[in-house]
Amino acid sequence: MRFPHSSYYSNPKKTNYFKKVLSFPGTWAVLIVFTYHYMTWKKVDLLIIPYPPAKIQFNTSRKYLSSNLASIAQLGNHIFEFAGLYGIAKKLNRVPTFFIENGHHKKMLERAMNTMPGLVDKFLIINGSVPDSIRNTSFHIACCTYDNPIRLETIPDEYLHLTGIFYQSWKYFPGMREEFLSFLSNSPENSNFGNLPRSDANTHVTCIHARRGDFLEVGFYGADPVFIRNAMKFIDNREKNTRPNKKIVMFGDDAKFMKKVFDGSVYSTDGVKEANHYVSKNTPTADFIYSKYHCDVVLISAPHSTFGWWMGYFSKGQKVYHMDIRFTNDWVYEKGEINIKDFYLPHWQALKFQNSDNLTVVDSLQ
């Protein structure tokens, strides 16, 4: 039986032709250039392409507040920006405004709407980029340090557009926790917690947030299993909880890592399984809702995690512990871009290893 075109490969003239082509130096140069471009080529991020400038009205009866946004970041960062701008706008008696400047802004808006629809509803949403007719006002130059918005009160601009991003400080929205809790989604799909334990008169739930992934790549302090286990010993001794059932639930971005922290851990998707240690594989929004109703205590093991921060802020018990960032190699703190009194709430408890030779977790005196 002959295969199609088999004579092509048995033709001596054509075989010699290919040998000549391959022996020509230019052929290899083309192949090398092609291979280099193939290996170094990066896919164009179409979502970053700016939308056309928005058409806005001037000389209205209101004043507006908007800002640059880290729209390419993740949900914890998004909530900080919405919350911070909402708090600043209330202080300045302005309308918080969100410009949909590109595809990332659109996705950011969708994520925030799914998680905190009540907060997004407080914003004026404008489809389009910030027009050149609106000038930038310098404000909030570091991610996690508070810049007092009182200094913006004298600016007369109808549309006040700030240069800052992230707004990671509780001081932008003091005393607003109950209002923010009411803004969280109450949809059935975000209230499905799988087999995770429920906090009640007989069951005490400690929630641990563990962030690794990109944190380890960019120089942020990531979750350490030794710290987590030793911190739990400290917390158990400090809290002295008397409820008969004690459960631990871990949340984060690396389910395999979290499952190995405590022996016998089960996933939230494993069906009805009785255990002492659980790992959530639910949606980020569901994790926030769970914290609101069932987290009696929260441990933030990666101190710079904004998702962990919001889990602590929303938590039922309002007893929050975190690794003291001053005793880590997190470059954000080392460069002075985070002020611990601006970032962490005053009643949250910082923890640390006793020293480099003793990994017992102890109270970190402020």
Give 208-228 pLDDT, tens digit per residue. 999 998 888 888 999 999 999
> Same domain for 161 and 234?
no
> Same domain for 218 and 91?
no
Give dist(CA 322, CA 352) in Å, integer: 9
- Residue whose tokens read 């926790």: 177
- Domain-embedded: residue 115: yes
> Same domain for 100 and 219?
no
> Same domain for 234 and 124?
no
Q: Output the domain CATH number for residue 230.
A: 3.40.50
- Domain-embedded: residue 79: yes
* Integer CA distances (angstroms), 179 to 78, 92, 118, 191, 294, in order: 17, 18, 9, 19, 19
Predicted local distance difference test score (pLDDT) of residue 162: 98
pTM of the model: 0.88
Query: What average pLDDT does range 319-324 have in this prediction?
Result: 98
> Same domain for 225 and 341?
yes
- Domain-embedded: residue 39: no
> Same domain for 200 and 235?
yes
> Same domain for 206 and 333?
yes
> Same domain for 246 and 132?
no
Pairing mode of beta strands 349-353, 361-363 = antiparallel
> Same domain for 159 and 225?
no
Our count of domains for the chain comes to: 2
Boundaries of domain holding 299: 192-363
Q: What six digits make up the tokens of 109?
A: 């808006």
Predicted local distance difference test score (pLDDT) of residue 217: 80
> Same domain for 204 and 167?
no
- Domain-embedded: residue 270: yes
> Same domain for 73 and 169?
yes
Q: CB neighbours of 155 closer than 8 A, spacing ≥ 6?
A: 137
Higher pLDDT, residue 43 or 268: 268
Counting residues of the chain whose pLDDT is more than 90, the rounded percentage is: 83
Predicted local distance difference test score (pLDDT) of residue 23: 54
- Domain-embedded: residue 110: yes
Of 261, 315, 266, 265, nearest to 287 (Cα)?
A: 315
Q: Please report which confidence band the pLDDT of residue 1 belongs to, taking 50, 70 and 90 as the band edges.
A: very low
pLDDT tens for residues 10-60?
455 444 544 444 454 544 444 454 554 445 555 678 899 999 999 999 999
Query: What average pLDDT does range 136-162 have in this prediction?
Result: 97
Give the end of a domain, one of 139, 154, 183: 183
- Domain-embedded: residue 43: no
- Residue whose tokens read 């400080």: 169
Give the end of a domain, one of 123, 157, 183: 183
Q: In degrees rounded to 5, what are phi and psi of residue 184?
A: -65, 150
> Same domain for 339 and 206?
yes
pLDDT tens for residues 116-133?
999 999 999 999 999 999
Average pLDDT of the chain is 90
Predicted local distance difference test score (pLDDT) of residue 43: 67
- Domain-embedded: residue 17: no
- Domain-embedded: residue 51: no
Amino acid occupying residue 225:
P
